[in-house]
Amino acid sequence: MPRSMTSKERVLAAIAHCEPDRVPVNYYAEPDVDRRLREHFGTDDLNAALGVDFRSVGPPYTGPKLHENKGDIIVSDWGIHMRRVVTAEGEMWDYCTWPLRAAALDEIEAWPMPDPDDFDYEAVGGQCDAVADFCICGGHCGQPDIINGCGMLRTMEQVLVDLITDDAAGLRLIDRRNDIQLEVLRRTLEVAGDKIDLLCLGEDLGTQRGPTISLELFRKHIRPRMQPYVDLGRSYDIPAMIHSCGSSSWAFEDFIEMGIAAVETLQPEAVDMAPAYLKEHFGARLALHGCISTAGALAYGTTVDVEAEVRDTLQVMMPGGGYILSPTHTVMVNTPTENVVAMYEAAREYGMYS
């Protein structure tokens, strides 16, 4: 039986396609789910309670407030509009209005965005030191995240039109946002690169039924803007993991060519995203993170159903390493607390290597 590993060792072994002591696990959820789990476990440290192997770091923004809230609409530093929505199951944030939906080039140029000078990069080193035994993640799935990230300002529909038509205003929004995020990441790694283990990126490329955009369009507009992030990470020997929703395995060969080491979210119900398909076609070349659907047993089944899904997924994905168990997305407020607990209990029971 393998010796007990630290979380850092466990994740890096999995990404290197070695069998660790147990399958690493990760966790994302809506704040209302976090609240219920804190009450269940009687602790504020959910990562410890669930045995999560990852911790995220990043420089806090210290610059001026760039956009004012509008009544019950909360406006981010990038100008993204969100409103708290109350459902029968609980509360969550939702995007509500799109301020750059019809913006022309001059409006895009004038739109206030964070300045890379206005971040506290020195804070990242201390953040890393506080979680040194865990897999430390720099970056996040919101970068470059062109379709979603710009869609939050311009609508996803308009961003897709921008990409297809080479719209000057839309492409300028993409590049302004991308240049800032890349520079923030560059300065972050300059300060703490040797302490960061995994670079997190994102670009949602799939619907449930197939690609969101063509491979040709991906190679024309998305891949060239994503490659500098991957190259920056590799210059510090940091592997990159990319978040991509839906049926996105059509892009995995390009990911491999780009030097990406791991992919998530891996929605098993989407076309060509079942665990057996992914393991067979990509398991030797990409680490696979996810596969426990937030739209399946976790939300709508019993604890027995959840345990069975986790067990069956692990049987397929564990051999040879290269797998990290995680919900496919943020766990939503319609998910019973006991099902979330059952998922991580099953991961501990069935995820051990012998």
Note the helical H segments in the chain: 7-15, 31-41, 46-50, 105-110, 122-130, 146-154, 156-165, 168-192, 215-217, 223-235, 252-258, 275-282, 297-300, 303-317, 337-350
pLDDT digits (tens, 9 = 90+) for 62-111: 999 999 999 999 999 999 999 988 888 778 788 899 999 999 999 999 99
> Does the pLDDT of residue 1 top 70, yes or no?
no
Residue 223 corresponds to which tokens in the numbers above?
């891949």
Every domain of the chain and the residues it spans = 7-64+99-350
CATH number for the region 7-64+99-350 comes to 3.20.20.210
The pair of structure tokens assigned to 157 is 């529909």
Comparing 91-105, 210-224, 242-256, 293-307, which segment has the lowest mean pLDDT?
91-105
| pLDDT recorded at residue 86 | 85
Mean pLDDT to the nearest integer, 322-349: 97
The confidence score (pLDDT) of residue 2 equals 55
- pLDDT for the residue numbered 147: 97
